[in-house]
Structure 1
Amino acid sequence: MAVVASVATGAATTGTAHASAVRPARPIQDATLWREFTASPLTHPQIPFVGRAGYRAGSGLPRRGGRDLVIDVVRDHGARPDGSADAAAAINRAIAAAGERGGGTVTIPAGTYRIDDVIRIGHSDVVVRGAGSGATTLYATRSLTELIGVYGSRYGGDKSSWSWAGGLIWLCPKDRWASLTDAIRAREWPFEGWTGNRRDAWRTLAVPAPARRGDRTVTVADARNLRPGRLVLLRLADHTGHTLLQHMAGDGAGARAYAWADKTKLTSYVPYEWPVRVAGVRGRRITLERPLPLDLRPEWDPRLTTLVTPLTGSGVEGLTLEAAEKPQAPHLLDQGINGLAFQCAYDCWADDVTVRHVDNGFGLIGASACTLRRTKVEGRGAHHPYYCREGSHDNLVEDFTIAARTTPAPAGTQLHGINVEGLSSYNVWSRGRMETGTFDSHRGMPFANVRTDITVNNDGVHGGDASAGPLFGARFTHWNIRVTNERAGLMKIDGLAPYGATVGINEVREFGQIDVPDFPGDLHARLEAYGSPATVRPANLYEAQRGVRLR
């Protein structure tokens, strides 16, 4: 496969939503790591290739007006735009009607709509569209605990899983949502991803031959079950010596020396499950929509398998979800006053959506290839403004804002920020403004993720059980990060992240929560343009990688 890398990246501040106004003290020039990356973009040891993250491999969200069926919740289903009566039933009827007819757009005109139930998007190719986040408001009156029930943790204890799951607008395949909520009501705390509540809802489609990270074409023994356009799951099981986890951590001496066996929460995340669409089939040669995220080695029993019926092509646009304001709950006891959740969703999106007064803002839970664009979390303060977990991959969060909280944080609460955990990989956070929060790598060894072109007041903390293992796996990259309060924690990661990179960050210092590396010895991490983010070119790593053409 030939790779052509674009190097016309522009000046450091070009196209940057929140670029520093300070004139750079040094000349703007291409970063050394960028020049290295363009020479080997799919196999670079520190920088992951994320240029195909997001909806339809980052090709842009669908244009408005492309769907024939349009259902108006006021005109066609009697929803009241003055907040005087529950509108959830009318909105859900409209969504179901569009879904049952093969897809369509559900419009919610300007106004305030009281919702006393979850808004459920369970059919593919359904778009819920308001008149704009400043014009259409859904006012939520009840929590997920009230609507569905108590949701305990599958790992025991008295934690509430609503602290990291579910949404008052919930995009999840209809049957998968039913199985999840049935299990919650039965107090049989489920796994939440692509292979069902017990991770057994899959069957083998094909067995690929050994391959390398970055390959887009694999050879299978029998391709009869594969066709272009089919969504499949790459499944990798760990070896008894934990060599798969070592590989995710960079295959270095530190990973080999690490004590994996007692990290029971981390090992429960394996097998690694990566959804991908088949782009082409030629004999036994299969071309994938995205490059392989990891090597395929026989010891990991690599398989292309089925997965639960996914939600695809659905989105939420142009509205605000506002919850009745209540004090933030103590840490890990959230009642589920949550915003949007994308679960078992692929090629879905949110655009121009604000959530207000929520426990948890925008969730990616076993979700892949989704785009969150022009989103905002505001109000009384959230636990996880953004969270990405349960093996979520290849997602794009761009032009996002976490606003300063409007009320002081109650005692016993925590604020994280932009969270990633649970072996989630190849996700991107781009062009962000964080007036509060942190880069919450929440253990569970997320790897190959990128945060780029972000201004942050670094006042949050990370979470994560010790049993969930390392904070970072390999190829975690922070690129052009402007830390307004100069706190180093989780921003400057050259002393924490194995085979990671910190490029273009202002001078910072350690205070508050201070971490030590999980892996012993040389981390093989890189630091460049420290103290001079305005000199970094390209200014936005994701946008520059969009110019790398694969063929």
Structure 2
Amino acid sequence: MTLRLPVVTGDDWCSQTHMSRFVLLSSDLRKIMTNMKMVLVFMMLGIQASIAIASDVPLIIEDANTRSEHYLPDFSFAGYDNGESLPNIQDYRVIDVSEHGIIANDDIDDSLAIIKLMSSIKNDEIPSVIQFEAGRYIISSIIYFDRNYTVWRGMGSGENGTEFYFPRPLMYAPPTPELKELREYLVKFDKIQRDKKRNLHLPFTEWSWSGGYFWTRIEGQRVKKYLQEYDQGEPVAARAQSGKRGGFEFEVDDTTHLKVGQIIEIQWLNDKGENGPLLKELYQDQDVYIGSHHWNFPKLPLARQQVEILSIQGKKITIQAPLLHNINKDLLVHIEDWKHLTHIGFENFSMKFAFATTIAHHIEQGFNGIYLTRLYDGWVDNVLISNADSGILTEESANLSIKSVITTGKKAAHYSVQVGGVHNVLVENLIVENKVVHPMSFNTFSTKSVYLGGEIRTTPKLDQHSGANHQNLFDGVQLDIDLKGSEQQYPLFDGGGAKYWKPSHAAFNTLWNLKINFVNSGELKGPIVLDGITQGTLARLLGIHANLPITLEYGLDPYVEKTNEKIAPHSLYQYQLESRLSSSSASLNN
């Protein structure tokens, strides 16, 4: 049993109430403890037993009726192995790159030698660590990762660690076939950055939200789905018939092409136009503007879930993670075999890009770090990225853990670590030191993903990008805001994206225990208004607090609880994960 007392700081405007609180890690523990035990605990901690006890746990967790009325997704399945274990590479073969002519600090471009090494092991199946020494390596070509069980590892991300230096942007790399569809889309839809005041009339580049120097891919596999003429009709393994959101079972019409252990993609499609039942499922029948891309591409799934099959009994499928949405006779839901890579990791290095002045938004030249596509159970850990256009981009991936990443530099960036077109991705302890348009971003089609902890230290924004992103979680993030002069308002909640993909997000995106630090709080008076999103539906805003009083203006019909208070559990993700694993352990013991 663990007790936690809240940390009270001098700048905490409501600290007088915090002194009367303690936080239990679960409501079950609180029910077990008697009043006498509480008194004994306080006595051991040297605190007066007469101090009043108050609950920091919101009703959406503590009260059954509230839980029933206001759906709160289970986010605990985000991350590598659904958060249940860490990567184990103890038995991997270690390949010392110096034995392949790849030498640190020799001022020689290492691209061709690295490509040769990666090609030499592409077709073997031995789990491998590609080990780099301390020092600088120069790279000017895309390094593709297209084999399973591969770890790209340096000697640390600090001053005496491993640095990969990129002297020029991806715009000078040969055109990539995987982005051919995107290039055509940008032309067809006249994607131009226009700004008369700055004399700008420039086409978007393919590198604005795609691509990277370290790129996981299945060669030739479609990544960006934009144009109907590219819809070849992937083989449909089955059609789903019935299932309940949050459940682990659903029924299909045919199991011939399904098997236990298979990673499938569940696809919810809108084939019934602008009043289709899937739009009611996504937006919960709220009176909100819905953009035309939701019905103009009937073969494009609006919601996707990649998940493992655990069992098949008759026509009933049991899966490893809870269903993202309901399945019924009114919804068109396809089951496809999902082509993917697995167990690819990036660890312990820095990525430094040559400084180049930012031209304009969407005109990025391609100083992009890591691009994770078609990856299941992958990870990034302890990586420092400097002067990138985008540090880490994601697409068509699931069950990723991205941990302890720092983005920094003098260059204004587009993204730090972006979560887009993915399912169950965990970004933990991201530190954003540089100025970024979208420093933390749930982008188009992202679902059940989490930013856990971390801090945005410069011009923070929490971006929820138009394009049916939904059921995502900002959890325990710190946001450092510098308000100028007498300003009493800050647009913290950002809803980027084009009008044809509005609104900013679908139902049940959650913001939990956010800490806002007004760095010049001594010069300000509360309350400060935090706003920015007008078109997000049914968000959950809980425990958003600051070192000054705040008020929230947010979207359409949000569920708001305990503003200006820290709440327990401190992390919703960790609480749900611990509860699930404890429940599983108890079931096994019984």
Q: Residue 312 of structure 2 corresponds to which residue in structure 1? A: 281
Of 144-153 and 263-272, deviating more is: 263-272
Q: Residue 47 of structure 2 corresponds to which residue in structure 1? A: none
Cα gap change, 1:94/1:25 in structure 2, threshold over 3 Å: closer, same or farther?
farther
Larger Rg over CA atoms? 2
Amino acid of the residue matched to residue 164 of structure 1?
W
Amino acid of the residue matched to residue 206 of structure 2?
S
Residue correspondence of structure 1 range 472-551 to structure 2 within 5 A = 472-485=505-518, 488-489=529-530, 497-506=536-545, 517=555, 523=557, 525-533=558-566, 536-549=567-580
Q: Residue 107 of structure 1 corresponds to which residue in structure 2? A: 131
Structure ranking higher on relative contact order (CA contacts 8 Å, 6+ apart): 1
Cα gap change, 1:214/1:246 in structure 2, threshold over 3 Å: closer, same or farther?
same
> Residue 446 of structure 2 aligns to a residue in which SS?
coil
TM-score normalised by the chain length of structure 1: 0.82
Q: Which of 422, 427, 433 in structure 2 is aligned with 1:397? A: 427
User: 1:84 deviation in Å?
Assistant: 0.9
Q: Residue 270 of structure 1 corresponds to which residue in structure 2? A: 301
Q: Separation in 2 of the partners of 1:311 and 1:147?
A: 24
Cα gap change, 1:264/1:291 in structure 2, threshold over 3 Å: closer, same or farther?
closer
8 A Cα contact 2:246 2:325, kept in partner: yes
Q: Deviations over 1:51-74 (max 9, x none)?
A: 11111111232134231x221111
Q: Which of 13, 22, 25 in structure 1 is aligned with 2:17? A: 25
User: 1:294 deviation in Å?
Assistant: 0.4
8 A Cα contact 1:395 1:427, kept in partner: yes
Cα gap change, 1:146/1:73 in structure 2, threshold over 3 Å: closer, same or farther?
same
Residue correspondence of structure 1 range 152-551 to structure 2 within 5 A = 152=183, 153-154=185-186, 155-157=189-191, 158-176=203-221, 191=225, 198-200=230-232, 202-238=234-270, 239-240=272-273, 241-249=275-283, 251-255=284-288, 258-261=289-292, 270-307=301-338, 309-380=339-410, 381-389=412-420, 391-405=421-435, 415-436=437-458, 437-458=460-481, 462-485=495-518, 488-489=529-530, 497-506=536-545, 517=555, 523=557, 525-533=558-566, 536-549=567-580
Cα gap change, 1:93/1:229 in structure 2, threshold over 3 Å: closer, same or farther?
farther
8 A Cα contact 1:45 1:475, kept in partner: no
8 A Cα contact 1:269 1:422, kept in partner: no
Q: Which of 120, 126, 136 in structure 1 is aligned with 2:150? A: 126
Q: Separation in 2 of the partners of 1:477 and 1:9?
A: 26
User: 1:431 deviation in Å?
Assistant: 1.1
8 A Cα contact 1:266 1:422, kept in partner: no
Amino acid of the residue matched to residue 438 of structure 2?
H
Cα gap change, 1:386/1:269 in structure 2, threshold over 3 Å: closer, same or farther?
farther
User: 1:232 deviation in Å?
Assistant: 0.8
Q: Residue 137 of structure 1 corresponds to which residue in structure 2? A: 163
TM-score normalised by the chain length of structure 2: 0.77
Q: Separation in 2 of the partners of 1:394 and 1:165?
A: 20
Of 45-54 and 355-364, deviating more is: 45-54
User: 1:509 deviation in Å?
Assistant: 8.3
Cα gap change, 1:83/1:444 in structure 2, threshold over 3 Å: closer, same or farther?
farther
User: 1:81 deviation in Å?
Assistant: 0.2
Q: Separation in 1 of the partners of 2:219 and 2:293?
A: 37
Q: Separation in 1 of the partners of 2:396 and 2:207?
A: 15
* Higher percent of residues as helix: 2
Q: Please list every run of 5 or more consecutive structure 2 residues that lacks an aligned counterpart in the other structure.
A: 23-54, 177-181, 192-202, 483-491, 522-527, 585-590
Q: Deviations over 1:223-275 (max 9, x none)?
A: 232222111111111132232122112x23425xx455476789885343221
Cα gap change, 1:170/1:81 in structure 2, threshold over 3 Å: closer, same or farther?
same
Cα gap change, 1:516/1:47 in structure 2, threshold over 3 Å: closer, same or farther?
closer
Q: Deviations over 1:270-308 (max 9, x none)?
A: 34322111122233321111100001122222121123x
Amino acid of the residue matched to residue 385 of structure 2?
V
Cα gap change, 1:22/1:36 in structure 2, threshold over 3 Å: closer, same or farther?
closer
> Residue 347 of structure 1 aligns to a residue in which SS?
strand
- The answer to whether the aligner puts 1:49 opposite 2:74 as a matched pair is yes
Q: Separation in 1 of the partners of 2:499 and 2:550?
A: 22
User: 1:24 deviation in Å?
Assistant: 6.3
User: 1:316 deviation in Å?
Assistant: 0.7
Q: Separation in 2 of the partners of 1:359 and 1:38?
A: 46
Cα-Cα RMSD: 3.2
Q: Deviations over 1:133-158 (max 9, x none)?
A: 12001001221111034974443322
Cα gap change, 1:237/1:532 in structure 2, threshold over 3 Å: closer, same or farther?
same
User: 1:531 deviation in Å?
Assistant: 1.1
Q: Separation in 2 of the partners of 1:96 and 1:218?
A: 41
Aligned length: 501
